[in-house]
Amino acid sequence: MVYKQAQNRGVTKIVIGIIVLLFTSISFIITILKTLYLTSQNDQTILQGINRVIQNFINEIYSNTQFLSVFWNKIPSFSEPFASVDNLIIILTYYIFIGIGVYLLNSGKSILSRLKKIKQSIEDSKIYNSMQNISNEEIKIKYKNVVQDEGFLNKLHSLYVSPIIVAIISALILKIF
């Protein structure tokens, strides 16, 4: 692919990656908040004060984020048995989308980084040629096929390592509450 195509692809991957990560993060946080709200409604006398504080805190977040009402109304919360199939499917879906967002973001950054190095080498070549008083045509490396796109399977490790880490952290958070 030529320089401009690679630049456009890199920027597009970064933008899509940020959008996917943003929506997935908001969805995951709201799922956790809804789950905390539902689990804090049990009437245990020891934790009743803490439960009221959690409920009031989540109510304040809900009332001050009405622009996120689509998320609050459509996103499911976890049911009581945490290890049920439905809950695991929800968590797996979040992790898949987080992995895809991280992959797209890193891939776009990688492409733009390589393009920056290519542009720097073109500038270095121009300076070198001007020092030698060579009157050749301007170097047109950036119009040749110089950038290879990374495939999906080359970055697979970032798709399965990060979800496992996030799963462990969220399981610990949900076990605490």
Q: How far is CA 45 from CA 36, 40, 50, 56, 177, in A?
A: 17, 12, 10, 17, 15
Per-residue pLDDT tens over the stretch 14-33: 999 999 999 999 888 888 88
The answer to whether 118 and 3 have CB atoms below 8 angstroms apart is yes
Shortest CA distance to 112 belongs to which of 14, 15, 1?
14
Which two tokens mark 20? 């996917």
How do the pLDDT tens digits run along the chain, 177 residues long?
A: 788 888 999 999 999 999 999 999 988 888 888 887 777 776 565 666 777 777 888 888 888 887 787 887 777 777 665 667 777 788 888 889 998 999 999 999 999 999 999 888 888 887 777 666 544 454 555 555 555 556 665 566 666 767 777 888 888 887 776
The count of domains in the chain is 1
The answer to whether 105 and 21 have CB atoms below 8 angstroms apart is yes
Which range of residues forms the domain containing residue 69?
3-176
> What per-residue string of b and e applies to 94-106 under the rule 16 or more CB within 10 Å gives b?
bbebbbbbbbbbb
